[in-house]
Amino acid sequence: MNLLILRYLSKVIFITLLLLVNTSCIDSTKTKNEEHYSVLFNNITTIDAEFGERRNQYVLITGNKIINISKKAIVSPSNCIIVDGKGKYLIPGLWDTHVHLTYSPELEKSMFPLFLANGITSVRDTGGLIDRVLYWRDKSKKNPNSSPNVFISGPLLDGIPNVYDGSPGRPEISVALDSPEAVRNMIDSLQAKGVDFLKSYEMLTPEEFKTVISYSKKRGLFVTGHVPLSMDVIEASNEGLRSMEHLRNLEMACSVNFDSLLNARKKMLAEGKNSLGGMLRSQIHKVQRLYAIESYDEKRANTVLKSLAENGTWQIPTLALLTGDINRLYENDTWKETFQYLPPEIRSNWIKKAEEKQQKEINHLSIAYGQWGLKMITKLKDANVKILAGTDTPISFLTPGFSLHKELEILVKSGLTPMEVLESATILPAKYFGLEDVMGTIDINKAADLVLLDANPLNDIKNTNRISGVVRNGIFYNRKALDNLLKKASGLE
């Protein structure tokens, strides 16, 4: 037989087989596959920080893993959802690396559905009372199909007076530790309960902070945190601080007069030791922050950033939070539309607070700090300091889930490329937890946590908002299923 005819015949047989197999497939318009069926994305563009942009790909998921990626059509197994990927983009599931699941009790139940509906398949909780955050981490482990992965630090390890002490406006999410011994006992008890990492806070003494780092290292845990007010950033980084939140107290370290600022802080801390922690901290920032920003010294900043890079002290700048008074989301009608997905009591409370905030005088210090934070992003990037995307939701009108996309947008505005920003929300957080072999890119054997987009995020990072599907733990949520999650979050279902 002629070779051409043979080729033609085998093609016909292949297509017939494909059609036969596909008839046993589930329609992708079905809201979600409750069982572990397979999901096949046909002819899709995949984008991730390792492989870049790959067009015309076929991606097969079975169970909770990606089991095949090919440039050629893949024969779909039985019980498979088929998604037409033409004109669509697949990115790895996103991380919000700075959340507080238990900050507002009325909001707790809505957090998981809001995250999933926004393509966030992993979160790092950076502070909550241990039994309460454990409740949500356990829930996530038991029901991975309907929860993001959850990593917890437990409470903020703070000194005396502690900042988040349960006083008005300061929910009780910290513990007050008064000695290195108290630090060690607390770390022992948190590790016994199964925390994933630890978070140190601003009121620790240098001795207590050093104990937090050295003892946790001994116990195989790492520490993120706010640099204690009693220490310089370089000193804290040299001790082995794994990461810093909100660029906190970095502004003081980058001042030409960083050493006299530190001495003045130590004096204020000693004098204020009988005040409320939250008040004392605000007072110190009020006195020092603007001066620090205005006396910013490039040479000193370079020395500080070099230390951060060499020590591997990563940064979670939480720009959506820092630029709160620049971007003024509380008076942005489009942003306020996201409040409709909050439970009723939170929604009305946020609307009321947003109105109050609009009436307030312009906070020049907050604006200056935000502008300084934006400026620091390219400096961190040039110094090779790693950046993770995180928000601090639900603080400061940052609607869970939606706010991560705002963070990505601001990171691009401040100088990262869209690909670098995707990296900061996918593979870098995975590396931070040593999980880069199991998640963070679109690769065979990696977790089936993915986001399906209607437009290319590399052309415009805002396209990460255009979500038409999410895969979590191998379960495919189409748009309708995601809308149902939003309804659930708002208490309508």
* Shortest distance, position 174 Cβ to Zn ion, whole Å: 11
Instruction: Cite the beta strand spans of 342-472 per DSSP E.
Output: 450-453, 467-472
Window of 17-25, 38-46, 365-373, 391-399 that interacts with Zn ion by CB under 5 A = 391-399
Q: How far is CA 67 from CA 21, 39, 43, 243, in A?
A: 18, 10, 16, 33
Nearer to Zn ion, 175 or 261 (CB): 175
Beta-bridged to residue 344, according to DSSP, are none
Q: Cβ 204 to Zn ion, closest distance in Å?
A: 16
Query: Based on CB atoms, which residue is closest to Zn ion, 224 or 237?
Result: 224
* Selected range binding Zn ion among 256-264, 363-371, 388-396, 434-442, rule: CB under 5 A: 388-396
Task: Please count the residues of this chain forming the interface with Zn ion, following the rule CB under 5 A.
Answer: 2
Q: Residue 151 or 476: which CB sits closer to Zn ion?
A: 151
Cβ at position 392, least distance to Zn ion in Å: 4
Taking CB under 5 A as the criterion, which residues in 357-376 touch Zn ion?
Answer: none
CB of 346 to Zn ion, least distance (A): 18
For the chain, the straight-line distance linking the first and the last C-alpha, in angstroms and rounded, comes to 64
Site string for Zn ion, 117-146 (x = CB under 5 A): ---------x--------------------
Residue 247: how many other CB atoms lie within 10 Å: 24
User: Smallest distance, Å, CB 367 to Zn ion?
Assistant: 21
Contact status, residue 61 vs residue 449, Cβ threshold 8 Å: no
Nearer Cβ to Zn ion (102/473): 102
Q: Which is nearer to Zn ion, 244 or 376 (CB)?
A: 244
CB of 11 to Zn ion, least distance (A): 57
Footprint of Zn ion on 462-491 (CB under 5 A): none
Comparing CB distances to Zn ion, the nearer of 56 and 366 is 366
103-111, 324-332, 389-397, 423-431 -> range binding Zn ion (CB under 5 A): 389-397
Nearer to Zn ion, 167 or 459 (CB): 167
- Greatest Cα pair distance, the chain, in angstroms, is 96
CB of 124 to Zn ion, least distance (A): 10
If the CB atoms of residues 136 and 477 are measured against Zn ion, the closer one turns out to be 136
C-alpha distances (whole Å) from 493 to each of 28, 106, 343, 487, 489 are 23, 16, 11, 6, 8
DSSP H helical segments within 383-478, as ranges? 402-413, 418-424, 427-432
| 3-class DSSP assignment, residue 477 | strand
- With contact defined as beta carbons under 8 Å apart, do 342 and 267 qualify? no
- Residue 403 to residue 317: CA distance in whole angstroms: 14
Instruction: Report the C-alpha gap between 20 and 24 in whole angstroms.
Output: 7
- Which residues, 6 or more positions from 52, have their beta carbon under 8 angstroms from its beta carbon? 419
Distance, CA of 234 to chain centre = 25
- Of 239 and 245, CB closest to Zn ion: 245
Give the HSE-up count for residue 58: Cα atoms under 13 Å, Cβ half-sphere. 11
Residue nearest Zn ion, Cβ-based: 392
User: Of 96 and 251, which has the nearer Cβ to Zn ion?
Assistant: 96
- Cα separations in angstroms, 185 against 43, 189, 211, 228, 285: 55, 6, 11, 20, 31
Pick the stretch among 180-188, 255-263, 384-392, 457-465 that binds Zn ion (CB under 5 A): 384-392
Distance CA(243)–CA(253), nearest Å, equals 16
Helices and strands (DSSP H and E) totals, the chain: 19, 17
Could you tell me if 350 and 397 are in contact, meaning their C-beta atoms sit under 8 angstroms apart?
A: yes
State residue 59 phi and psi, 5-degree precision: -125, 120
Residues 158, 202, 251, 392: which binds Zn ion (CB under 5 A)?
A: 392
- Residue 246 beta carbon to Zn ion: minimum distance, rounded to whole angstroms: 7
Closer residue to Zn ion (CB): 245 or 449: 245
Among 43-51, 249-257, 392-400, 436-444, which window interacts with Zn ion (CB under 5 A)? 392-400
CB of 390 to Zn ion, least distance (A): 8
Q: How far is the CB of 403 from Zn ion (least distance, A)?
A: 12
Torsion, CA 272, CA 276, CA 282, CA 286, rounded to 10: -40
Give the whole-angstrom CA distance, residue 396 versus residue 169.
Answer: 12
Which range touches Zn ion (CB under 5 A), out of 6-14, 31-39, 180-188, 385-393? 385-393
**Nearest distance from residue 163's CB to Zn ion, in Å?**
11
Q: Which lies closer to Zn ion via its Cβ, residue 248 or residue 289?
A: 248
The answer to whether the CB of 403 falls within 8 A of the CB of 391 is yes
- Rounded least distance, CB 225 to Zn ion, Å: 11
The residue among 126 and 464 lying less far from Zn ion, judged by its C-beta, is 126
> What is d(CA 125, CA 182) in angstroms, rounded to the nearest whole number?
23
Could you tell me the smallest distance in angstroms from the CB atom of residue 102 to Zn ion? Answer: 12
- From 50-58, 142-150, 269-277, 390-398, give the range in contact with Zn ion by CB under 5 A: 390-398
Q: Binding of Zn ion at residue 232 (CB under 5 A)?
A: no
Residues of this chain that interact with Zn ion (CB under 5 A) are 126, 392
